[in-house]
Structure 1
Amino acid sequence: MKKSSILSDATLLANSAELLSLIATGAASSRATLLDASGLSRVTVTQRLNALLAAGLVRETERTLPSGGRPTRVLAIGENAGVILVANIGETHIHIAAMDLQPAIVSQLTIEVSSQADPDGTLERIHHAFSDLLSRADVADRLLFAISLSLPTPVDHKRGCVVGPSVLPKWDEFDIRGWLGRHYEAPVFVENDVNLMTICEHRQNFPHVEDMFFIKAGTGIGSGIVTGGKIFRGAQGAAGDIGHIQFTSDDPPLCRCGKLGCVEARAGGWAIARDLTARGFPAENARHVVQFVENNRPEAIMLVRRAGQTIGEVASDVVSILNPSLIVIGGTLAKAGEYLLSGVRELVYQRCLPLAIRELQIVLSDPQRDSALFGAAHLVLDDIFSRGNVDALIERFVKRSETARVV
């Protein structure tokens, strides 16, 4: 192709950023709605849309919409136009995946890790795993759109680092974004795992709910808040830390954080495991607790119900303050089903005013193998296709395409 033709295509594609954002965000899903949303002429929309289609950034799906005449095909992002690298860092394992733009997992792997490991060594292992995934044939020719990390810690999302004491003691204030930025020419996102689980639950199962409260009941207890359809992080990213709200009592249990009487020390998976072990049923974590419940051990069932009541007590305060229309309970303990859910519902309905609970739904999350991974991908997609950032994405896409043509 002639150089002038390449430059012409690049200019047309660069001018198509607004249309790409409209399609990616769901603001427009057909040629007709693109015309209305963009305010551009039919000829201009056709030219720019054709450029996006030719580049593979947009595709026409098999679904159709009525248009008053011949049905028009629904437009969507071309899921194979790029790849997102995601990693969910846990206390003992890291789940790593290359994902398309749907998002769906293209390839994945899991590596063992210690929560006591230093961030340099852990990120080096993640970097090698990312390189492995990028070298595989199914993603080798795609543009790396972004990298997104999930951590089981408080995170300053704006700065891309862990803040304060956490289960990853050596990570406080470490520049994760800067470390990865030295190895990849792509945006890097860092977020708390519960917020990412919340984003996943909201985007995939309840996209039309404006105000939602997600509770992760696992080894620890945490929550995520959606208000006005967007995740709410608070001033320092610490919003939703219900696990360390303290209840006073005559004999408050000691929490992992060093305080007495925290919700987590009463209702977290590790706390229930502690109480089961004291009753003669050895357990170490939330998975063991669920196994005892599934085997119909009355001691485990009783403790899970009690944990549900504790979670319900703190959830009732949240309902009184935020007035969500939906509470979703996920995490490992959610696999205990109605034994946990009934305790939560009991306390919320008992303590809250009728107006706050009149239309409130309290449900269990659909179990997913790793919802934090999908939340990490959705976090990327929401950001890079936004009006303020889509131009930078197009610029990177054009640059890579021109380089590939020269080669």
Structure 2
Amino acid sequence: MGSFDAIDLFSFGRGLGDRSFTLSELSELTGRARSTVALRLEELIAAGLAVSAPTIPSAAAGRPSARVSFEPVSWGTIAIDIGRSHNLVALLNLSGQIIAEAAFPAEMADGPEVVLDAAAAASSTLLKESDHAGWRIAAVGVGIALPVFHEEGRPFNSTNLPEWDHFDVPGHLAKYFAVPVLVDNDANLMALGEHALRPDAGEMIAVEASTGIGAGIISNGTLFRGAKGAAGAIGHIPVPREADVPCICGRRGCLVAVASGPAIAASLSAQGLPATTVDDVVELALSGNLEAIAAVRRAGNDIGEVLTTCISFFNPATIAIGGRLTTAGNHLVAGIREVVYQKATPFATEGLAIVRSLEPVRAALIGAGIMATEYALSEDNLRRLVPGGAAGAPSLLVAEG
């Protein structure tokens, strides 16, 4: 029948759902001898990948059988979200739940070494200040507000942040983490996070509108990155309005040049309003400033123009709008709906939900954790971390920065 190690049993047990089992049940389900299953369970429990569960009273005479569940304990992942207007770090368990999180100060313009050192230090502090300092970290997920070669973990095409271009993010963080570091664009991770929050959303486009504008695509429950990781780069699709506006990419009329937070701030500043950043725009809109509200809604119209074409091509069931601009109220989403429902074909918009993100600022952080957790629980990674089910997995190193 071939070998049957601890990871085989763990993968089998996880596949049976969220329930507990007796030794006899597992022996019958796997077709393995009770002694073999018992040995593998001992290895999994020692490794923290299984835990003794409460016994269930039985009507039959005698002591109820001990039960076990395949629930990783004392294991976790680190999620890091590096943005233009915020930086977040979180500790998650291997069920993908955020246990603790914190913001940390850093500016992408200061360069990748400074930002990544700050992220690692914040991770260390988060572990120390939580009740999980003894956890073994299985993987780290990093989201960056730049296009990313996911397989290499290197940002690319970072025109206005040249220090980040092709920077080896996993290699730098290897000083602090003795586990795999996975890196992706923050809009992709927003899509992962939003899809986890809306498991019945179907085919989805998740749009992040903040300092930049990008999108993540979920198809058949899976994140679609494209051939080189550039899928969803809607920020550099031209829009009809003000087509002569220069963009940082060197072209003109790109969506990000007219509808991003800084673009809106620049237009409001030209009107004499105190706006420099996306946060200024949000504060003005929330205070009821009519010029700011109109500018945010107009940005929504521009995003809707681009999404109209995307809808015809991809035919999503859900479009989730997130990012800092959506915290200014419903104005951005209303502007998007106004154009999409007017210009997209009725067949493509029938049943289409255009909704505000359930986590406008944290969805990418959640997605980074999901990316790390899915990798951590992959069979190949578990075999690397727990050979034969033995304890002693690599964990967080110093992370003092």
Q: Give the TM-score normalised by structure 2.
A: 0.83
Residue in structure 1 matched with residue 349 of structure 2 by the alignment: 357
Residue in structure 1 matched with residue 276 of structure 2 by the alignment: 284
Contact 1:337 1:364 in 2 (8 A): no
**Is 2:6 the partner of 1:16?**
yes
Change in 2 beyond 3 A, CA 1:30/1:132: closer
Deviation of 1:86 (Å): 2.6
Residue in structure 2 matched with residue 392 of structure 1 by the alignment: 384
The one-letter code matched in structure 2 to 1:275 is S
Residues 186-236 of structure 1: CA deviation (Å, up to 9, x unaligned):
111111111111111111x21233411101111221110001101111111
Deviation of 1:330 (Å): 0.7
For 2:108, what is the secondary structure of its paired residue? coil
Aligned equivalents of 2:27, 2:208: Cα separation in 1: 41
Deviation of 1:322 (Å): 0.8
**Is 2:21 the partner of 1:28?**
no
Contact 2:192 2:370 in 1 (8 A): yes
* Structure 2: runs of 5+ lacking an equivalent: 57-63, 395-401
Higher-RCO chain (CA-CA 8 Å, sequence separation at least 6)? 2
Aligned equivalents of 2:340, 2:29: Cα separation in 1: 45
Residue in structure 1 matched with residue 222 of structure 2 by the alignment: 230
Deviation of 1:91 (Å): 3.3
Contact 2:213 2:234 in 1 (8 A): yes
Residues 372-398 of structure 1: CA deviation (Å, up to 9, x unaligned):
222111101112212443322332962
Aligned equivalents of 2:328, 2:125: Cα separation in 1: 37
Aligned equivalents of 1:260, 1:15: Cα separation in 2: 58
For 2:152, what is the secondary structure of its paired residue? coil
- Residues 156-195 of structure 1 aligned to structure 2 (within 5 Å): 156-195=149-188
Change in 2 beyond 3 A, CA 1:137/1:151: closer
Aligned equivalents of 1:97, 1:90: Cα separation in 2: 14
Aligned equivalents of 2:39, 2:386: Cα separation in 1: 16
> Equivalent of 2:71, from 59, 77, 82?
77
Aligned equivalents of 1:311, 1:264: Cα separation in 2: 9
For 1:170, what is the secondary structure of its paired residue? helix
Deviation of 1:107 (Å): 4.3
Aligned equivalents of 1:347, 1:35: Cα separation in 2: 56
Residue in structure 2 matched with residue 117 of structure 1 by the alignment: 110
Contact 2:105 2:118 in 1 (8 A): no
For 2:252, what is the secondary structure of its paired residue? coil
Contact 1:107 1:133 in 2 (8 A): yes
Change in 2 beyond 3 A, CA 1:361/1:401: closer
**Is 2:248 the partner of 1:259?**
no
Residue in structure 2 matched with residue 346 of structure 1 by the alignment: 338
For 1:324, what is the secondary structure of its paired residue? coil
Aligned equivalents of 2:28, 2:171: Cα separation in 1: 37
Aligned equivalents of 1:37, 1:29: Cα separation in 2: 18
Residue in structure 2 matched with residue 217 of structure 1 by the alignment: 209
The one-letter code matched in structure 2 to 1:77 is E
CA RMSD across the alignment: 3.4
The one-letter code matched in structure 1 to 2:364 is A
**Is 2:289 the partner of 1:300?**
no
Deviation of 1:369 (Å): 5.0
For 2:200, what is the secondary structure of its paired residue? coil
Residues 125-163 of structure 1: CA deviation (Å, up to 9, x unaligned):
434444444555723322121122221111101011111
Contact 2:51 2:70 in 1 (8 A): yes
Residue in structure 2 matched with residue 9 of structure 1 by the alignment: none
Change in 2 beyond 3 A, CA 1:355/1:40: farther
Aligned equivalents of 2:85, 2:239: Cα separation in 1: 30
The one-letter code matched in structure 1 to 2:378 is S
> Equivalent of 1:313, from 305, 311, 323?
305
> Equivalent of 2:133, from 117, 132, 140?
140
Deviation of 1:51 (Å): 5.0
Identity of aligned residues (%): 35
Residue in structure 2 matched with residue 90 of structure 1 by the alignment: 83
Aligned equivalents of 2:134, 2:389: Cα separation in 1: 12
Contact 1:115 1:167 in 2 (8 A): no
Aligned equivalents of 2:282, 2:111: Cα separation in 1: 32
Aligned equivalents of 2:28, 2:343: Cα separation in 1: 46
Change in 2 beyond 3 A, CA 1:397/1:186: farther
Aligned equivalents of 1:285, 1:57: Cα separation in 2: 46
Residue in structure 1 matched with residue 60 of structure 2 by the alignment: none
Q: Give the TM-score normalised by structure 1.
A: 0.81
Of residues 243-252 and 277-286 in structure 1, the stretch that sits farther from structure 2 once superposed is: 243-252
Residue in structure 1 matched with residue 59 of structure 2 by the alignment: none
For 1:343, what is the secondary structure of its paired residue? helix
Deviation of 1:320 (Å): 0.7
Of residues 246-255 and 210-219 in structure 1, the stretch that sits farther from structure 2 once superposed is: 246-255
Residues 298-347 of structure 1: CA deviation (Å, up to 9, x unaligned):
21222122111111111111111111111101111112343222221122
Aligned equivalents of 1:36, 1:228: Cα separation in 2: 35
Residue in structure 2 matched with residue 366 of structure 1 by the alignment: 358
* Structure 1: runs of 5+ lacking an equivalent: 1-11, 65-69, 403-407
For 1:140, what is the secondary structure of its paired residue? coil
Aligned equivalents of 1:149, 1:379: Cα separation in 2: 9
For 2:94, what is the secondary structure of its paired residue? coil
Contact 2:147 2:230 in 1 (8 A): yes
